[in-house]
């Protein structure tokens, strides 16, 4: 009596079968930049409103946001007549809060926070692409001289962070 050997499946068949299974169940991944804005390519960024007591901050923040968008290149900055969408912002708060103290109660380090209500909306239908109320960024500064020269670099840093955040919200595809 002859004993039959169990049949072995050729290795090539197994490799093909596993490859097919992996291809069917694999997740799709793309490295292309996504955008929340869909077909929007031309945007306008009007001067942000400012309801704080900080003079000139609206021009500085608006210029910084425009610069970030120009550097990024995802959107073209145009005037209102040519725009598909607009970034509308209102600076609602600018706060200095002591975060570190020397012996006693003398403030040594201060956190400067900027708070902005901002939305990205289509120009024609006023459809909101994204909106963020109370968007906050901050920068810390040490009190060395007790004058505005201590505060200015922190204000510039907080404005830069806010401009980055607004750009990131606008170009992120999540």
Beta bridge partners of 95: 113
Per-residue pLDDT of 154-168, as tens digits, reads 999 999 999 999 999
Give the side-chain half-sphere CA count within 13 A for 171.
18
Per-residue confidence (pLDDT) for residue 144, from 0 to 100: 75
CA distance 12 to 29: 28
Q: 13 in a domain, yes or no? A: no
Q: 62 in a domain, yes or no? A: yes
Are 45 and 86 a contacting pair, CB within 8 Å? yes
What is the model's pTM? Answer: 0.75
Per-residue pLDDT of 101-120, as tens digits, reads 777 676 779 999 999 999 99
CATH number of residue 82's parent domain: 3.30.160.150
Among candidates 137, 157, 59, which has minimal Cα distance to 93?
Answer: 137
Cα torsion through 65, 67, 68, 72, rounded to 10:
140
Q: 109 in a domain, yes or no? A: yes
Answer yes or no: is pLDDT of 7 > 60: no
Per-residue pLDDT of 50-102, as tens digits, reads 999 999 999 999 999 999 999 999 999 999 999 999 999 999 999 999 877 77
CA distance 62 to 118: 12
Report the number of distinct structural domains present in the chain: 1
């Amino acid at each position: 009596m002859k004993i039959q050997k169990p049949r072995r499946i050729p290795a090539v068949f197994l490799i093909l079968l596993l490859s097919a299974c992996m291809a069917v169940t694999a997740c799709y991944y793309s490295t292309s930049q996504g955008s929340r804005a869909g077909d929007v390519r031309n945007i306008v960024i009007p001067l942000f409103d400012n309801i704080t007591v900080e003079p000139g901050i609206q021009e500085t923040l608006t210029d910084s946001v425009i610069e970030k968008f120009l550097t990024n290149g995802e959107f073209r900055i145009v005037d209102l007549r040519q725009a598909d969408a607009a970034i509308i912002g209102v600076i609602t708060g600018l706060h200095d809060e002591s975060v570190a103290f020397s012996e006693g109660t003398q403030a040594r380090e201060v956190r400067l926070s900027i708070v902005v209500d901002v939305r990205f909306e289509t120009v024609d239908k006023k459809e909101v692409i994204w909106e963020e109320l109370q968007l906050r960024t901050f920068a810390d500064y040490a009190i060395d001289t007790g004058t505005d020269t201590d505060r200015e670099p922190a204000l510039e840093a907080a404005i830069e962070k806010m401009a980055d955040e607004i750009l990131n919200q606008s170009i992120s595809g999540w």
